[in-house]
A and B are shown apart, each in its own frame.
Chain A
Amino acid sequence: MVAPDENDDVLRVLDHAAEWLDDGQAVALATVVQTWGSSPRPVGSQMAIAGDGRFEGSVSGGCVEGAVVEAGQEAMADGKSRLLTFGVSDSDAWAVGLACGGTVRIYVEPVTSA
């Protein structure tokens, strides 16, 4: 059997993280850990973020990716993981939210080469 590597979204995200590390980029990984109400991507959905701003995968339907990329770069800078919550009522905190009215919690962690 041939695994559909390029169609396996989970592996694709992890492989990009590894490739970017190999290229000397800083890397962060974002993962949906909890959702309430309607949310575009299920728990476990991941997105890899590179120091140069490239990203692969998704943690929402495109609604919060911009803010998550930013949080990823902060995580790379200070080496600490963070937990973000996005909801439709969160517009004050993040100026982004989920149009679908759901809430998601996203864990953003630096990926260290050591």
Chain B
Amino acid sequence: MKRDVLDRLRAARRERRSVALVTELGTGVQRLAEAGAGRTRVEPAGNDEVFTHVFQPTPRLILVGAVHIAQKLVPIARLAGFAVDVVDPRIAFATTERFPDVGLAHDWPDKAVAALSPDSATAVVTLTHDPKLDDPGLIVALRSRAFYVGALGSRKTHGRRIERLTAEGFDDAALARIRAPVGLPIGAISPGEIAVSIMADIIAVRHGRALQAAAA
């Protein structure tokens, strides 16, 4: 690998761009290409083999609510390789002191989440317990391609949430995307335990191994 190729790979990674590194395994001839829809693979090519290494950006987690659970969730998500953004218009909650090393957005959650443009590698979780803040974030998330949309709160709370979002025009299929009560049912009680249960569920859904259907 030439230094130039290495540096372009690093830049693509930092800028969250997909890129494919194509290598002829016999000759070592190498080039960077558009990632396309293909996966990382080896294919025969004449007498040689071609290795196409697709570099996809790291997954992202957007948290609505700079609350205690978010403080516990941020390091766990980062450990699992997620880039994390925390959204909370309450300046006193979303401080760099409470949330070092993450992106902080102080706009109202609908505007803030939309500005972060959640894609199919993004998970969005609302944690405020306040419909005034959670719902706008959820609405933007449900209209995006986010692979995971979760909402903290009890079944009862979620029932009322479903009523409000139905009134906003979402149908049952759209609302079934919401993982709520968010997190795997492992009896989590403390903020740290709840954070673990949420992260485990995000990972399971990301890899198509959801252990629990979204609660009705």
- Which A residues are within 8 Å of any B CB, using their own CB? 1-5, 7-11, 14-15, 17-18, 21, 29, 31, 33-34, 43-44, 80-81, 83, 105, 107, 109-114
Q: From A15, which residue of chain B is reached at the shortest CB distance?
A: B10
Per-residue 0/1 for B26-51: is the Cβ within 8 Å of any A Cβ (1 yes, 0 no)? 00100000000000111000000001
Interchain CB contact (< 8 A) of B84 among A4, A107, A110:
A4
Is B6 positioned at the interface, with any CB of A under 8 Å from its CB? yes
Cβ distance A75 to chain B, nearest Cβ, rounded Å: 10
Question: CB distance A18 to B25 under 8 Å?
Answer: no
Cβ distance B28 to chain A, nearest Cβ, rounded Å: 4
Interchain CB contact (< 8 A) of A1 among B1, B25, B83:
B83
A-B contact count (CB 8 A): 84
Question: CB distance B81 to A4 under 8 Å?
Answer: yes
Interchain CB contact (< 8 A) of B42 among A15, A33, A109:
A33
Given contacts A10-B55, A33-B51, contact A4 B13 (CB under 8 A): no
Q: Please classify the interface of chain B as helix (H, G, I), strand (E, B), loop, or mixed, using the class held by over half of its residues.
A: mixed
Is B201 positioned at the interface, with any CB of A under 8 Å from its CB? no
- Which B residues are within 8 Å of any A CB, using their own CB? 1-3, 6-7, 9-10, 13-14, 16, 23, 25, 28, 40-42, 51, 53-55, 58, 60, 78-79, 81-85, 101-103, 116
Cα distance, A109 to B30, chains bound together (Å)? 11
Interchain CB contact (< 8 A) of A2 among B10, B42, B102:
B102
Residues of B within 8 A of A81 (CB): 25, 28
Q: From B30, which residue of chain A is reached at the shortest CB distance?
A: A109
A-B contacts besides A2-B103, A3-B16, A8-B83, 12 pairs, CB < 8 Å: A1-B85, A1-B103, A5-B14, A10-B13, A10-B55, A10-B58, A18-B6, A21-B3, A21-B6, A81-B25, A110-B1, A111-B1
